[in-house]
Amino acid sequence: MGGLCLSCELTSGRQPTPGGTIFETEYFHAHQDVAYPVPGQVIVAAKRHFTLLSDMIFDETSEFLPLVQKLRRQQQEQLGIEHVYYFYNEDTSHHFHLWMVPRYRWMAKFGKSIEAVRPALLYAQTNMNSEAELAAVAAASDKLRCAMQGV
């Protein structure tokens, strides 16, 4: 593996994430996406470095879906997020991770389909970096973290 793997850096804690770690299990690390300041947008990254879903070991597989379901439930209960887009790809320079991208009303101007997500994320990256917006991202992460930990 050439160079640093961003997911390895994040899951190990060597690189901080905005809002910090939302939740960790033995095999997975959930955190706010570092690239796009969208409140409640969660990345679920494997702690072990692999890229293919088919490379997941049994224990990882057993832990993964219940974690995603629990995170999704908390996105809805704590943040009022009605709909989420889920993305995973195998042609990444990082290792296995799932994006949980909330659908907000402001995203409607980009359409309502998978094709609308990329422009919405780029819009957020470019236009949603004010102190107040970043504070909203951190507050959303705090709410999810507390709910996931049962606080």
Instruction: Calculate the CA 129 to chain-centre distance.
Output: 17
> Do residues 34 and 18 make contact, with C-beta atoms less than 8 angstroms apart?
yes
Classify the phi-psi angles of 111: left when phi > 0, otherwise alpha if psi is within -120 to 50, otherwise beta: left
Beta carbons within 8 Å of 4's beta carbon, 6+ residues apart: none
Confidence class for position 136, pLDDT limits 50, 70, 90: very high
Determine what percent of the chain is predicted with pLDDT higher than 90: 70
Residues 47-96 have pLDDT tens digits of: 998 889 999 999 999 999 999 999 999 999 999 999 999 998 887 667 88
**b/e per residue 31-55 (b: at least 16 CB within 10 A):** bbbeebbbbbbbbbbbbeeebeeee
**For the chain, how are helix, strand and coil distributed in percent, rounded to 5?**
45, 15, 40
Read off the tokens for 100.
Answer: 């949980």
